[in-house]
Amino acid sequence: MLKNTRQRALAGLILLLLESACGRPSKPKFGKSQDASPSDKPTTTVPGGGEEVPTNPGQVDPETAAAIPLCDTEKFGQALWAPTLSQRCQSCHIKNGLAPKNGSAFILSDASEPDYMNKNFAAFQKLAAIPYEGTPLILAKASNKARHAGGKILDVDSEAYVSMNNFISDTALPKNCLKLTAETTAKLDVRSPAQIVRQASLQLAGRQPADAELQLAKDGKIRDALDTVLKGEYFETFIKRIYNDIFLGDGFRGDNAIEVYYRNNGQASLDWRDDSLYFSVYASFPEYQNSVELVSYIIANNRPYTEILTADYLMLNPHSACDILGPNHDLKFSNKCSTNGQSLQACNKQSFRFGHLPFGDYIDDCREFLPSKPKFGNGAPIVGVLSDIPFLVRYSTTPSNRNRLRARIIYKHFLGLDVLTLQGPQQPSTESSNPIANPTMNNPECAACHTLVDPVASSLQRHNDLGRYDRNAKWEKDMFAAGFNGKTTPNEAEPLRWLADEMVKDPRFARSAVMFWFQALTGEAPLRDPVPSDVYYRVSLAAKIAQNEFFENLAQKFAANKYNTREMIKDILVSPYYSAVGIKADVTASEKLMLESFDHANRRAPEETHQAIAAVTGQYWLLPDRKVDDTYTTFKKWDDSYLMNAGQLLVTAGGVDSKTAIVRNNDMSSIASAISNFAAVSMPCQVVSKDFKIETAKRNLFPFVEVNTVPDDAAGSTRIKQNIIHMHKRVLGEELSLESPELAATYALFMQLYNNHKSAGDKTLNKACQSPGLTSDESYTLYAWMGVLSYLLNDYDFIYQ
């Protein structure tokens, strides 16, 4: 299975390079190459490292990499931390975990924390320096020679014990650890500010950059340029899409369950609309949209990101406002979702046209949401997304699960901690000669994780499987009480509210937000803790530590800046993690491998491709015979498209339906590439002749030529080339000159197609490609231009971003 992780990319780099260069794997030895003696190779000193490595990374092989001596921290990481401490000890000895709860001072940092390896090495050294009956205390504890609350972890004759002992005895380890320095990072080839703005504009604003934005970027004011990019309807749609990938609320589309849960919760008063289940199917939209509308509102309005957990308001549209606030509510909607001119605040059935529209599309498209603070009869608190009913139902609970799934999701998405990884590959033993009563509290094997998970799970004790709130809900005592980070929820506090307030104070909250946006923008998951078998361990560790530091710096800035998400997004966009496209200077092999950690090449999501097609051609890619009609609701428009409709190609192209397809698949497959090709051969027919009918200067694609501009003379040829340069820039963001080989290649394609048709005397233009007044290919240029556009839309730089 391709996981597309950076770790794999790093580990597989050399073989990949060799395979692509030679067509077969080979193993030239560093310093032992058959082609050249070691003295033939230029060498460079690795900043912070000290050892010599060749400048040609293609000649480093795993054996050579493994032979490079590790510094003390790297050796600790590869020999002790990765195979043993992170797998066997961390689950208890993590901050606020079971061990510190029981008084242990040996605390290990999670791999997402800044400088985690040095901290862990220091903690290890401190414990190793204490003797216990002739044995370093760390070993005495691990073997339970000195009483260990977690019992015996390692046998004294185990490989892990011996390895740890040897490490402690080895005092000759070098101190010069490999670092990813600013000097090395400066060797990256990065996008220019204008190119960053273009890239961000297509990705986040769904459009070409404005001239003013490009000028600001060129003038050194890129953050000002990005300020207008990070605004508007598409940006908000982007936010909702990426957060829906977590909340999965869209899975309730066409499902009346959420409406029913609101009603059962006493959170909806439906008398005003003489409701029936039939209508509620279509009326559930505002309920399942609340969570993503909340995030969008927070980010778009520069509100503190902490409100994602702490907001004491709901986002209501004209329909849910009537349901939840009652007919006399005072929210001032702009009425822009009205289609019949009636006031939507009247909360009368006719104004919402229940029963008049067969598919309820009007209600689905009532997309104006405003914040409001309703008071519920049952005292249900509003606590950001944590109390959102669709969220609680999507991640529901059972009498035995007791909110632990919810707790795991909360840890994962808001604190960046996957609790399932804490235990490592080892499963708790299922058999015991002395079964321990209530193991989640009393068996260290289980309690290690449950010490973290269960207080959060218990904080949701008043929300049942359907999200219904009951202040007096009974909660069992055989589970760790509600709390967080080692603190117990005060008796008088509402557990969920208290949890949210505590969580946003945890530095992991800001860091996880940065990491979430990093992945959303670059398509790359944060680097993982290197595994011990990684032959490039020291390089991977250096890259990981540098990236952790990047996240931490941004997180601190984010918090200091009142959790302004748009500013944090700008920080990522202007960083080399977003702008790197290559390497511009000579680098050592280690440097090159470290610089790989900046690489990202994200296959556009189907929704992004849908928007990008419109951004470059001026038209969406729709099903046959469908037309863009402004009166259509958003869902109707999406349903008419190939890439926004789960019943068409959305899921097959890698998207989610939020029901059974809930994880995006960014991998390239034959069918995914066929879908890209389908768009690339369909769109030219739909847009080329139409674009020629637009006033020349305002055209999307052909501002330098007319239909009758032919390459038969120098003037015509030059104009065609100028237009090709324009198309490369518009479709691919690629800047070509008149001397560029890529221009020559595209021009050659144009000429081939032009000559194909001219020599055949074929002026026929397929009916589907015609536009009024342009019904034949009189000058043989239309198919040539269609072919050029198809070529560009099928290009790697359009399929990926």
Partner 1 sequence: MERRNFIKSVGAAGVLSLIGNRLAPPLLAAPATDKPLFITATCPGGWDVSLFCDPRYGADFPLNRFGEGDLRKFGPFTLGPGSAAAVQFFERYSKKIMLLNGVFAETIDHGVGQRLACSGGAGTGFPCFDALVAASLGPTLGLSFISGGGYDETAHEIAKTLSAPSLIQAMSSTIGKDNVFSSSDTSAISASIAARLKRKQAQAQLAIRQKNMNLLAQARQGWGAFPGVLKTVADLQAKVPLVQGVTGDDKAVKDYRNQLFLSIQLALAGYVNNATVSANIAFGNCDQHSNFPQHHLELDGFFIGMDYLWRAAEYLGISDRLNVMMGSDFSRSPFAIGAANDQGKEHWAQTTSIILMGTNVPGETLIGSTTRDKSFKAEMIDPKTLKPAASGVPLLRSHVHNELRRIAGIQDHPIVKKYPLILPGGPIRILA
Site for partner 1 in 5-44 (CB under 8 A): 6, 9-10, 12-13, 16-17, 20
**Cα separation of 119 and 214, whole Å?**
44
326 near partner 1, rule: CB under 8 A: no
Q: Is 265 in the site for partner 1 (CB under 8 A)?
A: no
Q: Which of residues 118-177 bind partner 1 (CB under 8 A)?
A: none
Judge whether 148 and 142 are in contact, CB under 8 Å: yes
Q: Measured from the CB atom, is 402 or 600 closer to partner 1? A: 600
- Write the DSSP string, 537-559: HHHHHHHHHHHHHHHHHHHHHHH
Q: How far is the CB of 669 from partner 1 (least distance, A)?
A: 5
Q: Which stretch binds partner 1 (CB under 8 A): 316-324, 466-474, 553-561, 746-754?
A: 746-754
Residues 716-745 interacting with partner 1 (rule: CB under 8 A)? 741-742, 745
Counting contacts by CB under 8 A, is residue 756 touching partner 1? yes
In the bound state with partner 1, the residue whose beta carbon lies nearer, of 277 and 738, is 277
The reply on whether position 319 binds partner 1 by CB under 8 A is no
Interface residue with partner 1, options 107, 436, 681, 694 (CB under 8 A): 681
Q: Report in angstroms how near the CB of residue 541 gets to partner 1 at its nearest.
A: 18
Residue 523 Cβ vs partner 1, minimum distance, rounded to whole Å: 9
CA distances from 22 to 14, 28, 169, 191, 296 (A): 12, 12, 45, 30, 49
Q: Please, which residue, 212 or 674, has the CB nearer to partner 1? A: 674
What is the DSSP-derived secondary structure letter of residue 84? I
Is residue 428 near partner 1 by the rule CB under 8 A?
Answer: no
**Buried b / exposed e along 88-126 (16+ C-beta atoms within 10 A):** bbbbbbbbbbbbbeeebebbbbbbbbbebbeebbebbee
Can residue 623 be called a binding residue for partner 1 (CB under 8 A)?
yes
Nearer to partner 1, 355 or 582 (CB): 582
In order, the DSSP letters of 657-674 are -SSS--S------HHHHH
Amino acid at 775: T
Would you count residue 761 as binding partner 1 (CB under 8 A)?
Answer: no
Residues 621 and 643: beta-carbon distance below 8 Å: yes
Cα(793)–Cα(44) distance, rounded to whole angstroms?
A: 42
User: Does position 671 bind partner 1 by CB under 8 A?
Assistant: yes
Residue with Cβ nearer partner 1 (24 or 477) = 24
1: contact with partner 1 by CB under 8 A = yes
Residue closest to 719 by CA, chosen among 727, 728, 709: 709
Interaction between residue 420 and partner 1 (CB under 8 A): no
Question: With 0-12 CB in 10 A as exposed, 13-18 as middle and 19+ as buried, what is 663?
Answer: exposed
Residue 420 beta carbon to partner 1: minimum distance, rounded to whole angstroms: 12
Residue 677 is a binding residue for partner 1 (CB under 8 A): yes
Report which of 344, 340, 289, 294 is spatially closest to residue 314, judged by C-alpha positions: 294
Residue 771's DSSP bridge partners are: 774
From candidates 334, 442, 752, 776, binder to partner 1 by CB under 8 A: 752
Q: Which is nearer to partner 1, 13 or 46 (CB)?
A: 13
Judged by CB under 8 A, the residue of 421, 665, 740, 771 near partner 1 is: 665
Tokens of 579: 């702008």
For residues 267 and 252, give the distance between their C-alpha atoms in angstroms, rounded to a whole number: 18
Residue 768 is a binding residue for partner 1 (CB under 8 A):
yes
Q: Which of 685, 687, 705, 710 binds partner 1 (CB under 8 A)?
A: 685
In the region spanning residues 782 to 801, those forming contacts with partner 1, defined by CB under 8 A, are 783, 786-787, 790-791, 794-797, 799-800
By CB under 8 A, tell whether 766 contacts partner 1. yes
Contacts of 468 by beta carbon, 8 Å cutoff, 6+ apart: 261, 264, 265
CB 197 → partner 1: shortest distance, Å?
Answer: 21
The minimum distance between CB 454 and partner 1, in angstroms, equals 20
Q: How far is CA 487 from the centre of its chain?
A: 31
- Restricted to residues 177-196, the positions that interact with partner 1 (CB under 8 A) are 189
Instruction: Spell 600-624 as b/e; 16+ CB within 10 A means b.
Output: bebbbbbbbbbbbbbbbbbebbbee
Query: Hey, CA dihedral for 289, 253, 613, 800, is it positive or negative?
Result: positive
If one asks whether residue 667 binds partner 1 (CB under 8 A), the answer comes out as yes
Q: Which of residues 553-582 bind partner 1 (CB under 8 A)?
A: 580-582
* Cβ within 8 Å of residue 571, ≥6 positions away: 554, 557, 558
753 binds partner 1, rule: CB under 8 A: yes
* Residues in 524-543 at the binding interface with partner 1, rule: CB under 8 A: 524
Of 201, 244, 579, 648, which one interacts with partner 1 (CB under 8 A)?
A: 648
Q: Which of residues 46, 89, 675, 743 is near partner 1 by CB under 8 A?
A: 675
663 binds partner 1 (CB under 8 A): yes
Pick 297 or 780: Cβ nearer partner 1: 780
- Amino acid at site 28: P
Using CB under 8 A as the binding criterion, the count of chain residues that bind partner 1 stands at 74
User: For residues 199 and 216, what is the distance between their CA atoms, to the nearest angstrom?
Assistant: 15
